[in-house]
Structure 1
Amino acid sequence: MAPMAPVVSKLYCSPSQANFIVRRRPRVINGGGFVVTNNNSQKVVFKVDGCGILGVEGELVLKDSDGESLLLIRRKGGIVQALCINRQWKGYKINFEGDEKLVFTLKEPVSYIVKKIPVKIMVEPRCNKDWDFEVKGSFQDRACSIVDSKGNIVAQVVVNNELEEMRLSKDLYHVVVQPGYDQAFVFGVIAVLDNIHNESTVC
């Protein structure tokens, strides 16, 4: 039995490996975004709106299958942020009353896309001084992994080679989440990576 590692909620931590399919949505729908389905049943598990709740650029919303908001993710802006070596994204859990609670911070190095420097992620409450998770590899090539600070693979983004017609468009890809890890958190991170690469979640 894998230990649970909830970030958003233990409801999204499965005791077994979970396989998902991500499909890009048309940009006319809430600024685009993507839909996550279960690989076996094809049922929708998560949805990501690319322009947030109010149609704001640099704001993403992760929803459950019923359309309820789970995570509100904002890119931190301002002059100070522009001068930093890292761009920051903040992920907030939303409760039924609409209150926001910070659950993770993702630091995007300004040279991430060019030099493939790993993206660092810290969760709240802080467990480590530096980082708790990082993204290694190339999201753009659909060949990357989220790993924890101990080097364990949390999730992997891969292209299904059987779907030949979809390989070049990259409108469809697979995500494998290992047992015990928070699937909602994983897709919150993937939503940020999507936006960084100017893909489906860009307004």
Structure 2
Amino acid sequence: MMPVISKMYCSSSQKVLGVRRRPHVVNGGGFVVTDCSAQRVVFKVDGCGIHGTKEQLILRDGEGDALLLMRRKGGMVEALSIYKKWKGYSMNYEGSQTLVFSLKEPNSCFVRNNGIRISIEPRGSSNKGWDFEIRGYFPDRNCSIVDIRGNVIAQVGVNKEVEKLMETKDLYNVVVKPGMDQAFVFGVIAVLDYIYGESTYC
């Protein structure tokens, strides 16, 4: 088990979760995550169009309670840095926030071959300075979250029959490996969605 947000989001078996994007015009964007086997909503992600704050996203559980706040660190320091940095904070029922992960995306053409990397907070024992990285290209719905040893912990993909039928990338699947924190995985996917200017972006 590898809880980042909570062990209640870690399953002992592999999970296939479906993602459906919400249109900006209806309710401010974001997406809904459904357990494909149980046909129930597991998570909802509010894009910045919903709460009106740029570069800020909220992951909620199926009941609508906030689990994770993702915020981009901005300002002069970032403008001078070769990376843009996002921070993910877990939120408890009292509303207090604890930093649980940070995500770095290249801010410069000099680091393009270094992909998007994620560190678990507080910093673990990894001497590489990161714990996970994104491989592949999210807008094509063909990417993975990979750990430091190269193991795929979550895979984003599209059901080819659905894609042909719908001609859209608004529906896609995420396969989460056993023991991985699904809330953490969808926090990362929410940030990727924003980075690439998709449903959470405003």
Task: State whether TM-score is above 0.5.
Answer: yes
Residues 31 and 53 from structure 1, CA distance in 2 versus in 1: closer, same or farther, beyond 3 angstroms? Answer: closer
Give the number of the structure whose residues are more often helix, by fraction: 2
- The aligned counterpart of 1:196 is 195
Normalising by structure 2, we get a TM-score of 0.93
Normalising by structure 1, we get a TM-score of 0.92
- The aligned counterpart of 2:176 is 177
- Aligned ranges 1:35-184 → 2 under 5 Å: 35-51=32-48, 54-111=51-108, 115=112, 117-127=114-124, 128-129=126-127, 130-163=129-162, 164-166=164-166, 168-184=167-183
Q: Across the two proteins, how many residue pairs are aligned to each other?
A: 198
Let me know the Cα RMSD of the aligned residues. 1.7
- The aligned counterpart of 1:6 is 3
Partner Cα distance (2:169, 2:108) in 1: 23
The one-letter code sitting in structure 2 at the alignment partner of 1:175 is V
Structure 1 residue ranges without an equivalent (≥5): none
The one-letter code sitting in structure 2 at the alignment partner of 1:172 is L
- The aligned counterpart of 1:22 is 19
| Alpha-carbon distance, 1:48 to partner | 0.2
Are the aligned partners of 2:56 and 2:70 in contact in 1 as well (CA < 8 Å)?
Answer: yes
Residues 74 and 153 from structure 1, CA distance in 2 versus in 1: closer, same or farther, beyond 3 angstroms? Answer: same
Query: Helix, strand or coil: the match of 2:139?
Result: coil
The one-letter code sitting in structure 1 at the alignment partner of 2:116 is V
| Alpha-carbon distance, 1:194 to partner | 0.3
Structure 2 residue ranges without an equivalent (≥5): none
Residues 73 and 115 from structure 1, CA distance in 2 versus in 1: closer, same or farther, beyond 3 angstroms? Answer: same
Partner Cα distance (2:49, 2:92) in 1: 16
Partner Cα distance (1:82, 1:165) in 2: 43
Residues 150 and 52 from structure 1, CA distance in 2 versus in 1: closer, same or farther, beyond 3 angstroms? Answer: farther
Are the aligned partners of 1:107 and 1:120 in contact in 2 as well (CA < 8 Å)?
Answer: yes
